Amino acid sequence: MCGTCGCKPHDFYPKSATSRQIKLDISLLNQNQQQATHNRARFQQLRLPVVNLMSSPGSGKTRVLEATLPHLKSLKCAVIEGDLQTRRDAERIKKTGTPAVQINTGKGCHLDARSIDTALDQLDIASLQLLFIENVGNLVCPAAFDLGESLRVVVLAITEGEDKPLKYPDMFYDADVVLLNKMDLLPHLEVNLDDLYDNLKQIQPNAVVLPISAQTGEGIEGWIEWLTQATRKFTSA
């Protein structure tokens, strides 16, 4: 029945209108997946590793990038920044001497594959050797949207507590590495790291976990080593 005036569909259509059922079984993520597959093929052709950084808001993704990029001076890097509003993160990245493109999603809670395709137009992608994407701070929605990335990095600040992996399993299930950030604050917190590791293993038994502090630089070398190793298979023919 029509929601506006209460009329029924048969008031509109001639008596000869026939009703038909059509079976489809199509994923609603299909549209995004097709664009992500296209992005991935483009990155593979350029032998460009692409790292999708995800986390809650405020867990330190931008700070991790600021601590990481000075160690990668020998590589031509770029960063795509995703936020609802402001160009602040892109401005911070540019101060490290790295090109950055800001995507403002407005009210969108995640980046999707199409937004990455659009952002790539603003970068000299053919000259790049490593591309970082900093997703919108959110532990739910970004997990469902493939961007065509090579690696998924989840940043979890220890200030967020030990139970985040259990509460937001999708995000941690697909992570290639989990960076446990803000380790310098450990003496001031009640967080139980053994429980945090156990909770992560319940979701992803093979999870690689690297404790770091983007603020003090603790653990950053280990992270750079992991990143160099993990991106290698995407740069070779």
Q: Which of 55, 79, 57, 85 is nearest to 66 (CA)?
A: 79
For residue 144, the minimal CB distance to other proteins (Å) is 6
Residue 141, both tokens:
């929605």
CB of 64 to other proteins, least distance (A): 24
Which residue lies nearer to other proteins by CB, 138 or 150? 138
Give which of 183, 140, 178 is closest to 159, Cα–Cα. 183
Rg (CA), the chain: 22
In the complex with other proteins, which residue's Cβ is closer, 15 or 188? 15
Which range binds other proteins by CB under 8 A, 96-104, 138-146, 189-197, 228-236? Answer: 138-146
- Contact region with other proteins (CB under 8 A), list: 46-54, 118-126, 179-187, 200-208: 200-208
Is residue 197 involved in binding other proteins (CB under 8 A)?
no
Q: How far is CA 155 from CA 27, 82, 214, 232, in A?
A: 29, 15, 11, 21
Distance CA 206, CA 201 (A): 7
Is residue 201 within the footprint of other proteins (CB under 8 A)?
Answer: yes
What is the C-alpha to C-alpha distance for residues 181 and 213, in angstroms, rounded to an integer?
A: 5
Closer CB to other proteins, 21 or 45, in the complex = 21
CA 236 to CA 127: how far, in whole Å? 16
* Spatial separation of the C-alpha atoms in residues 185 and 46, rounded to whole Å: 40
Min. distance of Cβ 118 from other proteins in angstroms? 16
Start-to-end Cα distance in the chain:
59
Please state the closest distance from residue 84 (CB atom) to other proteins, in A: 13
Considering CB under 8 A, how many residues would be counted as binding other proteins?
Answer: 40
Least Å from the CB of residue 178 to other proteins:
14
Query: According to CB under 8 A, which residues from 15 to 54 bind other proteins?
Result: 17-32
Which one, 10 or 88, has the nearer CB to other proteins? 10
Closest CA to 72 of 152, 129, 154, 136: 129
Tell which positions 84-113 bind other proteins, by CB under 8 A. 108-110, 112
Residues that bind other proteins (CB under 8 A): 1-3, 9, 12-13, 17-32, 108-110, 112, 140-141, 143-145, 166, 169-170, 173, 201-205
